[in-house]
Structure 1
Amino acid sequence: MENWFELIHIQPFKDKRGSLKKMLMISQLREDEKIEEVYVLFSNQGSVRGNHYHKKTLEYFSVISGKAKVALKNLDTCAFEEIIMSASSDVILRVPPNVVHAFKNEEEEPFIMLAISSKEYNKMDTDTFPMEILE
């Protein structure tokens, strides 16, 4: 775990039918955190998503199919990190406010990512601020 983003390692339940991965439980949320939006990203080869940060929004991400290159930049310290997340990683990425985040699909197959957000997107009152850290 880093102090400016967090990789939450999960233990999937597995049996002969397959596996079950719990992405987020209320016990993982801090007292002042809430969830307002859940969505799924489908990203084709070569595509980049994100390249932005939020001033108020907390987000969780988990790759559920394929593989994603993830770039993260802490705006307070300028620390930068790149990681690879895949469906087999069994991790959930917690991205707090003021951390620029971007996702790139460098594979032939699309990646599918589950995203959970503490703030519902509102185009009239957006908390999304562009900043390119991944091409």
Structure 2
Amino acid sequence: MNKLDKVNLIPRTLRSDDRGWFLKVIDGKEQGLPHHTGEVYLTLAVPGQNRGGHYHIKAHEWFTVVQGSALVSLADTSTHEQRDMTLTATEPVTLVVPPGVAHIFCNPPDSHEPMLLVAYSDELYDPADTIPYSFNS
């Protein structure tokens, strides 16, 4: 068999709403992945909109802003202690969020561009592992 015959296109679903969009680029179910692979996804927020606002019981997540900037709020769901920070594409870092830490990403209202985030979760999506969380303003 020609190696080119092994090339495959996998349809993806871009989920869009008034906040921006969300796209999984790897969902962990693709043929040929190692025994355990999580999900790689992109999410976009237009100026003034939030993405996230939840925590996970099992999943660890890694986040990198690759366009624009994000005002990030993190909260320990046991103590409700909150920490805020800014992530930018011009000074890229990867934020690692363990289970039990709520997280929300806001594209500042005065931003002039969308905020684009690349993320990895070590668990496949499970609605029971995504718990909504309300942050203090």
TM over 0.5: yes
C-alpha contact (below 8 Å) 1:48/1:134 kept by paired residues: no
Q: Which has the higher contact order (CA 8 A, sep 6+)?
A: 1
- C-alpha separation in 2, matches of 1:35 and 1:91: 22
Could you tell me how far apart the structure 2 residues matched to 1:46 and 1:134 are?
A: 17
Whether 1:84 and 2:86 are equivalent positions in the alignment is yes
Contact 1:45–1:110, Cα closer than 8 Å, also in 2: yes
Cα distance change of structure 1 residues 113 and 134 upon mapping to structure 2, 3 Å threshold: farther
- Once the two structures are TM-superposed, the CA of residue 88 in structure 1 deviates from its matched residue by 1.8
Match of 1:55 in 2: 57
Q: CA contact under 8 A between 1:63 and 1:85: conserved in structure 2? A: yes
1:132, distance to aligned residue in structure 2 (A) = 1.8
Give the 4+ runs in structure 1 shifted more than 6 A: none
- 1:90-133 Cα deviation digits (max 9, x unpaired): 2100000000100001112101100100111144xx31000121
Unaligned runs of 5+ in 1: 1-33
Q: How many residues align?
A: 100
**8 Å Cα contact 2:66-2:92 kept in structure 1:** no
Q: 1:35 to 1:92 in 2, by over 3 A?
A: farther
Matches of residues 83-102 of structure 1 in structure 2 within 5 Å? 83-102=85-104
Aligned to 2:8: none
8 Å Cα contact 1:71/1:134 also seen in 2: no
List per-residue Cα deviations over 1:24-81 (Å, max 9, x = no partner).
xxxxxxxxxx641000111101111111000001000000010000000011232211
**Which one has a bigger Cα radius of gyration?**
2
Specify the code of the residue in structure 1 equivalent to 2:68: G
Q: CA deviation at 1:134?
A: 6.5
AA in 1 matched with 2:107: N
The answer to whether the aligner puts 1:116 opposite 2:120 as a matched pair is yes
Letter in 2 for 1:68: A
Identity %: 36
Aligned match for 2:72, one of 58, 70, 73: 70
Task: Output the TM-score relative to the length of structure 1.
Answer: 0.69
